[in-house]
Amino acid sequence: MLHLAENLSRLGTETAFDVLARAAALQASGTDVINLGIGQPDFPTPEHIVEAAVKALRDGHHGYTPANGIAPLREGVAADLAKRHGIAVHPDRIVVVPGGKVTMFFAILMFGEPGAEIIYPDPGFPIYRSVIDYSGAKAVPLPLLERNAFAFSAEEVLARITPATRLIIINSPANPTGGVTPADEMDKLAKGLEDHPDVAILSDEIYSEMLYDGRRHRSILNYPALVDRAIMLDGWSKTYAMTGWRAGYAVWPEALAPIATRLAINCHSCVNAATQWAGLAALEGPRDAVDAMTDAFDKRRRIVTDALNGLPGFRCIEPAGAFYAFPNIEGTGMTAAEAQDRFLSEAGVATIAGTSFGDHGAGYLRVSYANSAENITRAIERMAAILS
């Protein structure tokens, strides 16, 4: 018998991948499945980004790169942050990693251990809770409520801080709710954190370019008082439709960047070279494809919200960011898990139960609108047929 490490029993998962596998299996057996489950843009990566990767390979970029990323890319990220958030970041604070997830894994492992507490959003991206549990730290949920449009309240975050709190995780625009925390709430949180100088903050800003109705993103990097303890997670997966390339980055406090780099050396050595050159082309190239994607998400957002609100037992607020709607389905009489199962097996529509994102997701379903307007409409018609 093999003796696996005890902490592995506490490692969770991301149900979206299980649903993706079930949807693929159903599809392979001839069922027409519409996938509103997975959180990835349904657009191809823009052509000039693909070309940059091909060129990098032809130019001979085949070897290891520096573990924290090639210098031109880190400089490119710094320039992009200056443009988007109006902040100056030294490229040495930037660590390029294979996807946004790697930053959260590193940050949680840096602070999580038995006796430590980490505050995380619930409902929230499932990997936060999974890795907190794995680390042995106590996971302290921060409930995100529909009546608050799924934004977090600074007061609620600050109220959860104890002497054992090491790290707070926030995410706006948010997965799975599409909630966006207003700038003044971010201001209050930053101000309140000044009274807790030993607490670090991980701000997951991977959806920061997917904001609607003229909203503007307020980055954690906009608070100079937090510069020594704020980790800002971002990446290429969502903005540039590059989920399969595996490219992300974080801005770390100066003292933590070398630790993140050491974790990278122990784990993956570096992001593959061609992907890094593609990432640079994404930041420096034309924006029309990105703008077109965001416009498409904005249009679908309205379509999906209207259609979901037309379903018996459903109630859905309009998401303010990202590409997820998070309808309340309590009126259907089904639990979130039952709804996920029935919509997939009986209607061929993949969605994700809210409970996959935490206990406060009970009674909700995540519907990704990273699919065509036609498919969204067709999917919701099929769901209506099940409900009637």
Q: Which residues bind ligand PLP (CB under 6 A)?
A: 39, 99-101, 125, 171, 175, 204, 206, 235, 237, 243, 248
**Cα(111)–Cα(200) distance, integer angstroms:** 8
In the complex, minimum distance from the CB of residue 59 to ligand PLP, in angstroms, rounded to a whole number = 25
CB closer to ligand PLP, 65 vs 237 = 237
Which residues does residue 249 pair with via DSSP β-bridges, in sequence order? Answer: 96, 234
Q: How far is the CB of 166 from ligand PLP (least distance, A)?
A: 20
Shorter beta-carbon distance to ligand PLP: residue 322 or 334 = 322
Considering the complex, what minimum distance in angstroms separates the CB of residue 259 from ligand PLP?
20
Residue number with the shortest CB distance to ligand PLP? 99
Q: Which is nearer to ligand PLP, 91 or 98 (CB)?
A: 98
Query: Taking CA 15 as the corner, what is the angle to CA 388 and CA 201, rounded to the nearest 5 degrees?
Result: 120
Pick 14 or 334: Cβ nearer ligand PLP: 14
- For the bound state, the minimum distance from the C-beta of residue 235 to ligand PLP, rounded and expressed in Å, comes to 4
Q: Which is nearer to ligand PLP, 99 or 279 (CB)?
A: 99
The two beta strands, 230-235 and 200-204, are: parallel
SS3 74: helix
Whole-number Å distance between alpha carbons of 206 and 188: 22
Cβ nearer to ligand PLP, comparing 112 with 235: 235
CA dist 293 → 208, 265, 379 (Å)? 14, 35, 21
Torsion of CA 375, 357, 261, 226, to 10 degrees: 110
Phi, psi of 121 (to 5 degrees): -75, 140
Q: Cβ of residue 103: shortest distance to ligand PLP, in angstroms?
A: 8
- The least CB distance from residue 221 to ligand PLP, in Å, is 17
Do 231 and 103 meet the contact criterion of CB atoms below 8 Å apart? yes
Other beta carbons within 10 angstroms of residue 32's beta carbon come to 10
